[in-house]
Amino acid sequence: MTDVALPPIELHEAPPAGPPIEIPDFEIVPRAGLVFAAVAAVALIAAIASNKLWPLEFLHVSGGAAWTIIDLFLGLVLGPIMGAMPVPARIQFTTRLMPKMVVIMPIVVTLTLAAGWQLSTKLGTNLTVHPLHGWVVASMIIVGVMSVIALGLLEPANIAVLIELKKPRPNPEVIEHLMKRFVYSAGVLGVMQIATLVIMTKLGSG
Amino acid sequence: MSERKYPPVTGIAMTSLALIVAGGIYLSAHLPQHVPIGPAVVLLVLSAALMAYNIYSLTRVKDFPWERFFAVAKWSFLAYLVIAGLIEYAFLHNHLSGAPLVVLTLSLLIFAVHVPTLLGFTVARYYDPSQEVAGAPAG
C-alpha cells in the first residue's frame, strides 16, 4: 500500500530570508472521498455475499491494478519529477495529492485482498492440492511484506506530514525527515509490485 | 526537529505486524485443510506481547502528548476496524470456524489496534506546542 513517494525537501533550496511559503488550506481526510470509499466497501460486501465470478474478478482485478499502478507510478515516476520541483510547488502538489491517497489506498488494498481471497476460494487456487497453490502463497508473502512496510512506514509518515503542514509554523526538518521515508519505502514497494505483476499474470494465464 | 528520545515504537510495531502477517499466511496457506495451530498461536502471542510492550513503553514517556496521540489514533482505529471487519467478513462467509477463526480474528484485532497506535505515535512525537502559535519559531 504505497502512499506517495515524495522526495526530501532540501533546506538549502529555500531562500534564507523571504516571504513564508504559502500552504493552501486542505482536509487531511477529504470527507467527500469517504462516500466513495463507503460505496466501494458496500460493493465488496455484495460481491462476497453473491460469490459470483464476475463481481469478484472485477473488484480484485480493478483494485489490484489500481494498487500496482499507483505504487509504480508514484514511487518510480512521479517521485523523481517532484524532486525537481521548487519547494513551494512541491508543497502545493503534496497538499492536493496526499489527502486523496489517505482515502484511496486503504480501500483499494482492502478491495483487492478481500475480493482476492474470496476469488481464490471460489476458484480453488488457495487449496493445497491446486497446481498453482505455490504461486498464491508467494503472492501472500509479497503482499504481507508490502503491508508491513506500508503500514509501518508509509502510512504514518503520510498522516504526520499532512498534520505537520496543517500547523501554523510547520517544521521543515520534520517534513524532510518524513518525506525521506516515502522515497526509500516507495522504491522498495515499487520493485515488489513488479513481482506481484509476475505472479498475478502467471495465475491469470494458468 | 524534536531531539526527545522515544522507545523504538515503530520497529516494535512493524515486528508485531510481521508476526501476525506470518501467522495469517501460515494458516491461509493450509486452509481449508486441517492445519496445526501451534505455530500460528505462538506468532500471535508474540505479536500481542510486543503490542502490549509498545503501549506500556509509551505510557512511561514523560509528558507524552496523549491528546495529539488520541486525536489521530481514535479515527484511524475506526477506519482500521472497518477494514478488519471486511476481511473478517470474507473469512466468515467461507465458513471458517474453530481455532483458525479465533487466531485470525485476534490477529485482525491486533492489526486494528497496533496500526492506529503507530499512526498516533508518529504524529505525537513531532508535536511541538510552540508551532501552534503563528509567528513562533519552529523546531
Give the cell for residue A27: 482536509
Q: Please give the Cα distance from A24 to A47 (Å, whole number).
A: 39
Tens-digit pLDDT profile for residues A148-199: 998 898 889 888 988 888 888 888 888 878 877 877 787 788 888 899 999 9
pLDDT of residue B132: 67
Contact B108, B87 (CB under 8 A): yes
Q: From chain B, pick out residues whose CB is under 8 angstroms from the CB of A114.
A: 86-87, 89-90
A166: nearest CA in chain B? B132
Enclosing H/E stretch for A178: helix A172-205
Q: Which of B98, B111, B92, B90 is nearest to B36 (CA)?
A: B98
CB contact under 8 A, B89 and A113: no
- Rounded to whole angstroms, the Cα distance separating B87 from A173 reads 38
Contact B130, B137 (CB under 8 A): yes
Under 8 Å between Cβ of A49 and B93: yes
When CB atoms are compared, the residue of B32, B87, B134 closest to A169 is B134
Per-residue pLDDT at A53 exceeds 60 = yes
Predicted pLDDT of residue A77:
83
Q: Do B87 and A110 touch (CB under 8 A)?
A: yes
Per-residue pLDDT of chain B (139 residues; tens, 9 = 90+): 556 789 999 999 999 999 999 998 998 888 667 788 999 999 999 999 999 999 999 999 988 999 999 999 999 999 999 989 988 988 888 888 888 889 999 999 999 999 999 999 999 998 887 776 655 444 4
Q: What is the pLDDT of residues A6-38, one digit of tens each?
A: 445 444 444 444 566 677 788 888 888 999 999
Q: At A71, which amino acid appears?
A: D
Are A44 and B86 a contacting pair, CB within 8 Å?
yes
* Residues A14/B125/A179/B76 CA torsion (nearest 10 deg): -130
* Residue B128 to residue A124: CA distance in whole angstroms: 53
ipTM: 0.86
Q: Which residues contact A161 (CB under 8 A, 6 or more apart)?
A: A6, A94, A98, A175, A178, A179
Q: What is the pLDDT of residue A18?
A: 55
Q: Is B82 on the interface with A (CB under 8 A)?
A: yes
- For the stretch A79-115, pLDDT in tens is 778 767 787 888 888 888 888 988 998 899 889 988 9
Cα angle: B71, vertex B78, A162; to 5 degrees: 45
φ and ψ at residue A115, rounded to 5 degrees: -65, -35
Interchain pair B86, A155: CB under 8 A: no
Nearest to B17 among A148, A169, A170 (CB): A148
Question: Sign of the CA dihedral A147, A153, A156, A159?
Answer: negative
DSSP A150: I
What stretches of A51-151 show up as alpha helix (H) in DSSP?
A: 53-72, 79-83, 87-123, 133-149
Contact A45/B14, CB-based, under 8 Å?
Answer: no
Q: Domain residues of chain A, as ranges?
A: 27-205
Task: Give the chain A residue whose CA is nearest to the CA of B133.
Answer: A168
Chain B residues within an 8 Å CB radius of A151 = 14, 17, 115, 118
Contacts of B138 in chain A (CB under 8 A): 167, 169-172
pLDDT of residue B117: 94
Which chain A residues are Cβ-neighbours of B78 within 8 angstroms? Answer: none
Give B135's contacts (C-beta < 8 A, 6+ positions apart).
Answer: A168, A169
DSSP string, B18-80: HHHHHHHHHHHHHTTS----HHHHHHHHHHHHHHHHHHHHHHTSTT--HHHHHHHHHHHHHHH
State residue B2's pLDDT score: 53
Rounded CA-CA distance A71/A91 in Å is 20
Nearest chain B CA: its distance from A88 CA (Å): 18
